[in-house]
A = this chain, B = another copy of it.
Amino acid sequence: MSGLSLGYEVAATDGAARRGRLTTAHGSVNTPAFMTVGTAGTVKGLTCEQVAASGAEIVLGNTYHLMLRPGAERVAQLGGLHKFMNWPGPILTDSGGFQVMSLEALRKITEDGVTFRSHLDGTLHALTPERAMEIQELLDADVTMVLDECTRFPASESVARESMERSMRWAARCKAAFTARPGYGLFGIVQGSVYPALRQVSAEALKEIDFDGYAIGGLAVGEGQSAMFETLDTTIPHLPAERPRYLMGVGKPADIVGAVRRGIDMFDCVLPTRSGRTGQAFTRRAVLNLMNARHRDDPRPLDPDCPCPSCADYSRAYLHHLFKAKEMLGPILLSRHNLHYYQQLMAGLRGAIAAGRLEDFIADFERQQAEGDIAAP
């Protein structure tokens, strides 16, 4: 990479998997990395100190939410998103394409871009490739994402092709509009639904434009894990080995493990925090539902082997009580635990790749998941 953008280097590989490091204007990120989602300028329920303590090195903000509230110009005036939300480390911003597409009846796509009505107050807004770049620069994102159309699933091949081709034209406009600066970079997004030929065309088009990293979009939208993995298998070979690869919106722990094995370097997902808010806890052996009465008298932590403060300090019985009583501390403690779980998983994957024993790690992971929760006391 030139000194005018992001740094990325691969330190070790194990099969297709890579152990690397992304260097940005606000610090570096060890990969494979899970990016904690802070949609509206906050990781829901947690202070940035708690997020950092989980092992997170990069958080994700969202153009769509932040352009509507508090507004990108306001964030810039207040010193940028890092200062605004008190996260001094790297930030990646989603371009807003995914959220705008999901508005369905409220948006209209043309070649120029997309117009939509705010889900907050119904006001009319426009997002073009050029405006998406401007907003993300105002937010001061270390990693900017191109504006794309996240093709809905399922889509016929002709619909998927038309959508992907427009996204590629938008990607070229994004690249032209993006301001190159040291430590800042722009990622392209491969589309093409589950059609290998379209994914290849998309990847080649993006390589031709030349991005600092390559995301795979339009997955984790209902196609299922095997279709997702097949798409990765046919897409990744067309991506340049020397640039980071980001699988957007993924996913469950098993999705991440399978994607890392296939050569993905970056992930983001709301699952750890969203699940945490509804009483779901990820552990190495099971996903626990803390609303379940079986935890009512259980003095044990979520996971006796988890070093996170939620497991060190609190019993399942207490967490169950908090969720039954609808106390805010329940979502807080479970979101924190889940983020620790995800970061521990990523640290384990990175260590395994560096040691050349990823297959052993995955076998252990799958065996523990198959065992199910530890027996009741």
Residues of A at under 8 Å CB distance from B?
Answer: 40-42, 44-49, 69-70, 74, 77-79, 84-86, 296-297, 299, 309, 313-315, 317-318, 320-322, 324-325, 327-329, 331-333
Contacts and interface: CB of A to CB of B under 8 A. Distances in A.
Contacts of A299: 78-79
B313 A42 contact: no
Contact of A297 (B47, B77, B325): B77
A74 B328 contact: no
B317 A70 contact: yes
Contact of A84 (B41, B45, B78, B315): B315
A86 B314 contact: yes
Given A313-B86, A318-B84, A325 B78 contact: no
B74 A327 contact: no
Nearest to A273: B328
Contacts of A69: 321, 324-325
15 contacts: A42-B329, A44-B327, A47-B309, A49-B309, A70-B296, A70-B321, A74-B297, A74-B317, A78-B315, A78-B317, A78-B318, A84-B317, A328-B328, A328-B331, A332-B332
A78 B331 CA distance: 21
A78 B329 CA distance: 19
Contacts of A321: 40-41, 69-70, 84
Nearest to A335: B328
A5 to B, nearest CB: 29
Nearest to A327: B42
B40 A325 contact: yes
Nearest to A299: B78
A47 to B, nearest CB: 7
Contacts of A318: 41, 78, 84-86
Nearest to A329: B42
A301 to B, nearest CB: 11
Nearest to A312: B86
Contacts of A333: 47
A48 B41 CA distance: 25
A69 B85 CA distance: 36
Contacts of A297: 74, 77-78
Nearest to A310: B47
A322 B332 CA distance: 16
Contacts of A322: 41-42
A338 B166 CA distance: 52
Contacts of A48: 313
A183 to B, nearest CB: 23
A87 to B, nearest CB: 10
Contacts of A77: 297
Given A45-B328, A84-B315, A86-B313, 6 more contacts: A40-B327, A41-B322, A45-B329, A47-B329, A69-B325, A78-B317
Contacts of A49: 309
A169 to B, nearest CB: 33
Contacts of A314: 86
